[in-house]
Amino acid sequence: MKGNFIDNLPRVYGIYTGGFLAFIIIMAICEQMGMTAKTIGICFVAFTVAIYAIIGWLSRTAQADAYYVAGRQVPTVFNGMATAADWMSGASFVAMAGGIYFKGYGYMALLVGWTGGYVLVASLLAPYLRKFGCYTVPDFIGTRYGGNLSRLLAVIVLTVASFTYVTAQINATGTIASVALDIPFQYAVYVGLVSILLCSMLGGMRGVTWTQVAQYIVLIIAYLLPVFWISNKMGAGFFPHFMLADEVARIGELEQQFGFVKNSAADLANVPKGLAGITKAHSAVNATPWAFISLALAMMMGTASLPHVMMRYFTTPSVKAARKSVGWSLFFIFLLYSSAPMLATLSKLSLIDPSLPTGIIGKSIAEVQAIDWYQNWNQANLMFVSDFNGNGTLELNEFFMGGKAVVLATPEIAGLPYVISGLVAAGGMAAAMSTADGLILAIANALSHDLYYKIIDPKAETAKRLVVARVLLVVIGFAGATIAAMEIQGILGSVIWAFDFAMSGLFFPLVLGVWWKRANKEGAIAGMALGLASGMGYLIWVRNGGSGFLGITQLTFGIFGSAVSLVSMVVVSLITSAPNAATQKMVDEVRVPSGRTILGKQ
Amino acid sequence: MSKQEQHWEKTRNLLFVTLAIWFVFSIGIFLFGAEMNEVTGPFGYPWTYWFTCQGSLGIFVILIFWFANRQEKIDEEFGFSERGDD
């Protein structure tokens, strides 16, 4: 190929996408020729992970600029794809449609929150941090406010938030690997971990960038193809996003017809853990305005404070490109997020509508228990029926499903070939791996660059710094996997906590660092320390039976944490002296897009 | 006022407009979620449902690109834009 790698990117990824589609077709042919479902699953996961590993190996580097910020030459659109993969976790991929399926409107605050946050990223932070020219988020805090303590606190907030998040991702890779490869979860977690480290260890940010682009392509095909296919097969419309209004209305009718019967506690005790029934309206407004808005707001501010997202915008060639790149990121995220409610609608209707061939409500219990897919997913502990009222017929309140089943089982229920289920497994794996990589790298980079290089040993040579960075990457990965193997908190719970931790400690110190010249070191230290401490305190209080206040729950505790952070930062900044002239001049320069980066001048 | 101060004032005004639009579609409309859902909106979906599925999300995408273009114009006006590619 002529020209350098960057110029050839569209061609490289074009060929890759074509190759992946060809692979899907080959697998479909193999399925027709009698390849077993299990072999297809293994092929999909093994093939895609092998590709990522090759990309990771090809991206190996010994330069600090390439390792930390991919050489700052990632074009806007590709950075957008990489950010989208970085962003959309295993939870987005596997659990989001399920959440919408079970909780409806109240849950969809997450869709608004996880997209609206990008407006804050684009307008308040990303371009300015790009101009700053830092390697990590604590690098900005440490240089803007000065002093090792502020840098250290930023590292602590980053680590608490990202580590909470990463265990959930490693858990997700483990779940998918254990299903697809048919090995016990405790081992599957480490298989997932090794796959993750293969992408990031040799090439750092450069390796992660180019694998994330590849992972985005896999995950978006794996999500959209089944949605369109199912919609067409059901005759619901060839472009589901614009054509499911009748289906949404039909679900509303059926809900009216069946009613939401409340099960007794004794009946529910028989239902396997983690499964839920349909108890909330699909499209009606079922949450108070504050419950919806507070969750959306917490997720938006959390988005703008999560370091693994922010650091993706350090890799663009210019400030201008950083802004545009945020737009592309959200566009690529939009493609998946706007499809999740459609999948939830199709999945729910195909199960509950008695007039559809796939509908099971209203059938006899024995008949449902004889269906192949029911038996498979019942065995996988993701589906359950029980005749509570003893009338022999399945009622809406007698059918239970796991949240993951919406994405994982719907293709099978709708009668799609198994090759689609294999594809979905590969997509889920890609989603979880790409996010885990971004997070582990964010933590390892902060510890190696900010803690080791900037605080402990400022004279360390590049080679030594990169060795430290890689050792930390492995250590953090193993620590995450070990905790994931213990299965403490469900996938989604810990994801939401990460947002709250990040916004409690980092949102205002980051934003005011750019937008308020008067903000000083003492203020930032108070903001980070008190914000994180009060957010964490609130979480512990509510978890231990505390009643909470103002409707702030354990999912939105960041609202309290960040409010404390804002107040303490402003008050402490104002009662201590203004930042010195050099710092003020630095802030002025950050606000101007042209010219060299701040750190590039020093 | 120096060139830099003027540039920052325009930048700040653009931020306020952007955040105002963001506020309306991420928070403002959901104050009236229940009422708005009674009315049929785009493609036949109820309005609130449509906003949570597609509307607000799509508006955010457009808003960011619009913001980026406006900011580039401001930077060019004051000669602060970067040369070279994007």
User: Environment class of residue A252 by beta-carbon count within 10 Å: exposed (0-12), middle (13-18) or buried (19+)?
Assistant: middle
CA-based nearest residue in chain B for residue A125:
B15
Closest chain B residue to A589 measured between Cα atoms? B4
Contact A297 B58 (CB under 8 A): no
As for how many domains chain A has, the answer is 1
Contact B71 A323 (CB under 8 A): yes
How many whole angstroms separate alpha carbon A473 and alpha carbon A483? Answer: 16
Q: Which tokens sit at A248?
A: 């949404």
Q: CA torsion angle for A88, A74, A11, A29 (degrees, to 10)?
A: -20
Show Cβ contacts of residue A26 under 8 Å, excluding neighbours closer than 6 positions.
none
Check: CB of residue A314 under 8 Å from CB of residue A71: no
Residue A21, classed as helix, strand or coil, is helix
CA distance B77 to chain A (A): 12
- Which has the closest alpha carbon to A117: A87, A158, A74? A87
Dihedral-angle region of residue A415 (phi above 0 means left; psi in -120 to 50 means alpha; beta otherwise): left
pTM of the model: 0.92
Q: What residue ranges of chain A have pLDDT lower than 70?
A: 1-3, 487-493, 601-602
Contact yes or no for B19 and A320 at CB 8 A = no
Of B15, B26, B86, the CB nearest to A112: B26
Residue at B27 is within a domain: yes
Distance separating alpha carbons of residues A420 and A229, to the nearest angstrom:
10
- Residue pair A67/A205 in contact (Cβ under 8 Å)? The answer is yes
- A482 neighbors A145 (Cβ within 8 angstroms): no
Which residue is it, tokens 């080791």? A452
Measured between beta carbons, which residues in chain A are less than 8 angstroms from residue B85?
317-318, 321
Task: Please write the tens of the pLDDT for every residue from A438-471.
Answer: 888 888 888 888 777 887 778 878 888 888 888 8
* Cβ <8 Å between B71 and A594: no
Inspect the interface and report whether the beta carbons of B52 and A341 lie closer than 8 Å: yes
Pick from A119, A283, A318: which is nearest to B60 by CB? A119
Residue of B nearest to A590 (CA): B8
Mutate to test the interface with B, among A114, A295, A299, A330 (most CBs of B within 10 A): A330
Question: Across the interface, which of B37, B60, B85 has its CB nearest the CB of A118?
Answer: B60
- Examine residue A224 and state whether it is found in any structural domain, yes or no: yes
Strand ranges across the sheet with A399-402: A275-276, A399-402, A383-385
Do A306 and A499 form a contact (C-beta atoms < 8 A)?
yes
Q: How confident is the model at residue B85 (pLDDT cuts 50, 70, 90)?
A: very low
Q: Which two tokens stand for residue A10?
A: 């569209």
Q: Which residues of A touch B22 (CB under 8 A)?
A: 116, 119-120, 123
- Does residue B50 belong to any structural domain of this protein? yes
Does pLDDT of B86 surpass 70?
A: no
Structure tokens given for A199: 């992408």
- Convert the pLDDT of each residue in A322-331 to its tens digit: 999 999 999 9
* Chain A nearest CA to B47, separation (Å): 10
A319–B82 C-beta distance less than 8 A: yes
Which of left, alpha, beta for A548 (phi over 0: left; psi -120 to 50: alpha)? left
In tens, the pLDDT along A511-562 reads 999 999 899 989 999 999 999 999 999 988 988 887 878 888 888 999 999 9
| pLDDT score for A2 | 52
Contacts of A118 in chain B (CB under 8 A): 60, 64
Helix (H, G, I), strand (E, B) or coil at A448: helix
The CB density around residue A318, as the number of other CB atoms within 10 Å, is 22
Strands A275-276, A383-385: pairing is: unpaired
Q: What is the DSSP string of A158-190?
A: HHHHHHHHHHHHHHHHHHHHHHHHT--HHHHHH
- Give residue for tokens 């320390």: A529
- Across residues B33-44, what is the average pLDDT? 84
Out of A248, A334, A342, closest to residue B57 by CB: A334
Q: Please, are residues A359 and A353 in contact by the beta-carbon 8 Å criterion?
A: yes
- Structural domains in chain B (count): 1
Of B44, B54, B80, the CB nearest to A338: B54
Residues in chain B within 8 Å Cβ distance of A342:
53
Taking the C-alpha atoms of residue A325 and residue A336, their distance in angstroms, rounded to an integer, is: 17
- CA torsion angle A213 A215 A217 A220 (round to 10): -130
- B11 falls within a domain: no
A115: chain B residues, CB-CB within 8 Å: 56-57, 60-61
For residue B10, list chain A residues with Cβ-Cβ distance below 8 A.
none
Closest approach of B17 to chain A, Cα-based (Å): 11
Residue A97: alpha-carbon gap to chain centroid? 13
Say how far apart CA B47 and CA B24 lie, in whole Å.
15
Chain B positions touching A109 (Cβ under 8 A) are 30, 52
User: Which residues on B lie below 8 Å from A326 (Cβ)?
Assistant: 64, 68
Domain assignment present for residue B7? The answer is no
Confidence at residue A23, expressed as pLDDT on a 0 to 100 scale: 92
Q: Which of A285, A327, A588 shows the shortest C-beta gap to B4?
A: A588
Name the residue range of residue A597's domain: 9-255+276-347+416-601
Q: What is the mean pLDDT of chain A?
A: 86
CA distance A93 to A424: 9
Q: Chain A residues with CB inside 8 Å of B81's CB?
A: 320, 593-594
Within 8 A by CB and 6+ apart from A252, the residues are A281, A282, A283, A284
Cβ separation B22–A326 shorter than 8 A: no
Question: What is the Cβ-side half-sphere exposure of residue A345, based on CA atoms within 13 angstroms?
Answer: 31
Full domain range(s) for residue B29? 20-77
Q: Do A283 and B84 touch (CB under 8 A)?
A: no
- Domain of A55, CATH number, reads 1.20.1730.10
Residue whose pair of structure tokens reads 């589901």 in the numeric block: A240
Query: Looking at the domain assignment, is residue A353 inside a domain?
Result: no
Cβ contact, residue pair B68, A327, below 8 Å:
yes
Query: Do A591 and B8 count as a contact with CB atoms less than 8 A apart?
Result: yes
CA separation (Å) from A509 to A83, A455, A506? 23, 20, 5
Work out the minimum CA distance from B76 to partner chain A, whole angstroms: 10
In tens, the pLDDT along A123-146 reads: 999 999 988 888 888 889 988 998
Residues of B with Cβ-Cβ distance to A105 under 8 angstroms: 33, 48-49, 52
**pLDDT for res A357:** 83
Partner-chain residue, chosen from A76, A116, A127, that has the shortest CB–CB distance to B60: A116
Does residue A382 lie within any of the structural domains? no
Size of the A and B interface in Cβ pairs below 8 Å: 152
